[in-house]
Chain A
């Protein structure tokens, strides 16, 4: 059963048609990549899947509220790391921020918890953004170039984390430019001319 399913999604900006009746299904425990040239509509697709952008036509259904990590880091520069966690704990309605604490430790920025987002490095902001998307253990995770600015250790930690999520049954969609990382994904979709095409089958999902 699909954890995330989009049917006939269309989106245009003025006369420029970006998504032209696109379909995609992602099952629980599957890790998929969406690749494509600059301006092919990858970010638009992810925003539509996340509910951040209304499609002109078509439908998107997901099993629950997805975790969403946008391409541009969206934080409040005046708030500390811990205050961001408190805000999203209230947003998700979760009783404990323990998962956020665990992610902060794993991504290696626990020393920055009292620091304001405006004073964090670009890579640390990206880690915080990822933590906020993941801290409620969503069944569907939508990540737009999530490893931009990561150092090598964090980059490896990120892939360890995605493997764990796959084992837990999380359906994960990653917008990626990294062609050499494509063997990490269960399926890779190429977005061209507003349509999505599966490139090749990698390996079966863990669940």
Chain B
């Protein structure tokens, strides 16, 4: 089991790192996106409601939009990379399991690769953000980006195992990630402070980031909410993934 786990962890990461489109998106899209959004949104005040505390902050709309722009970029990239990796390896994983690989080792390796990627993408997007804005609570932005990247890595996994075609998967990821992140921003969406947006995956990370960057406050409940979304997506995705692998009885005994 140990040898299988080590091999799967190493090769899952190796396979994911070779996704050239993901590298291009990460290296080029993130700074271009910050630049584009940053140049379009002026430094004007915007009301942002911290629903967790009931306080309404007047924040710089430009800076807030940089946060949601970062969120939209990393959620798209992480979901896409994990989705592509899962789609690519589904039949291969079946063959490995038929050949004696333990499904638990493959599932653990995929989870590990998704988490490593979430931390790397979140940290990178934070570093690039510093070229455009130096927020007071930069660590809160980093935590936010990593939390959101983890949620969408899990979402990419779930979409990867439930949809039939690649195109519908990409479409779902783009639609949901863009809507989710932009709806939370009052500069883009006049209804951003409405209660219904509490039920969106980016609600927790956006609240956590705004509280840290504009109000010097830590909102652990918002981080927990984001982790709950991650856990829910990951659990569903991993259960479906396990169901799609050959069952141990048919493998071990080679009988039906």
A83–B99 contact, CB under 8 A? no
Q: A51-B251, A52-B246 are in contact. Are A88 and B99 (CB under 8 A)?
A: yes
Segment touching A, from B26-34, B90-98, B177-185, B197-205: B90-98
Per-residue contact bits, chain A 45-82, to B (CB 8 Å; 1 contact, 0 not): 00010111011001111100110101010111111000
Q: Within B49-100, which residues are at the interface with A (CB < 8 Å)?
A: 88-89, 91-92, 94-96, 98-100
Query: Which segment of A33-41, A89-97, A178-186, A198-206 sits at the interface?
Result: A89-97
Say yes or no: is B142 at the interface (Cβ < 8 Å to chain A): no
| Residue in A closest to B7 when the chains form the complex, CB atoms | A90
- B101 contacts the other chain (Cβ, under 8 Å)? yes
Q: Is the CB of A78 within 8 A of B14?
A: yes
Closest to A129 in B: B95
Are A52 and B94 neighbours in the complex by a CB distance under 8 Å? yes
CB-based contact B11/A116 at 8 Å = no
By the criterion CB–CB under 8 Å, are B7 and A62 in contact? no
Cβ–Cβ contact B4 & A90, under 8 A: yes
A residues near B19, Cβ cutoff 8 Å = 78
Closest to A72 in B: B91
Contact B8 A74 (CB under 8 A): no
Q: Are A65 and B89 in contact (CB under 8 A)?
A: no
Residues of B within 8 A of A132 (CB): 95, 99
CA A181 to CA B91, docked complex, whole Å: 30
Question: Which residues does chain A contribute within 8 Å of B16, judged by CB atoms?
Answer: 78
Is A86 interfacial (CB 8 A cutoff)? Answer: yes
Do A51 and B98 touch across chains, with their CB atoms under 8 A apart?
yes
Any A CB within 8 A of the CB of B190: no
A60 touches B256 (CB 8 A): yes
CA distance A61 to B254 in the complex (A): 6
Contacts of B247 in A (CB 8 A): 54
* Chain B nearest CB, measured from A101 CB (Å): 17
Complex Cα distance, B210 from A182, in Å, reads: 73
Q: Which residues on the A side are within 8 Å of B18 (C-beta)?
A: 78, 116
Q: Flag if A78 contacts B15 (CB, 8 Å).
A: yes
A87 within 8 A of B: yes
Distance A90 CA – B7 CA, assembled complex (angstroms): 7
Instruction: Look across to chain A and name the residue whose beta carbon is closest to the beta carbon of B105.
Output: A90
Out of B95, B98, B101, B246, name the residue touching A90 (CB < 8 Å): B101
B3 is an interface residue with CB less than 8 A from chain A: yes
Q: Once the chains bind, are A65 and B99 in contact (CB under 8 Å)? A: yes
A83-122 interface code vs B (CB 8 A; 1 in, 0 out): 1001111111100000000000000000000001000000
A78 to B17, CA, bound (A): 9
B39 within 8 A of A: no
B21 smallest CB distance to A (angstroms): 12
Most buried by A among B88, B99, B100, B255: B99
- A-B pairs, top 4 by smallest CB distance, nearest first, are A78-B15, A90-B7, A91-B99, A55-B256
Binding site for A on B (CB under 8 A): 3-4, 7-8, 11, 14-16, 18-19, 88-89, 91-92, 94-96, 98-101, 246-247, 250-251, 253-256
21 interchain pairs (CB within 8 A)? A9-B256, A48-B256, A51-B98, A51-B246, A51-B255, A54-B247, A54-B250, A55-B256, A58-B256, A59-B256, A65-B99, A66-B254, A75-B92, A76-B89, A78-B19, A79-B15, A91-B96, A92-B99, A116-B18, A132-B95, A132-B99
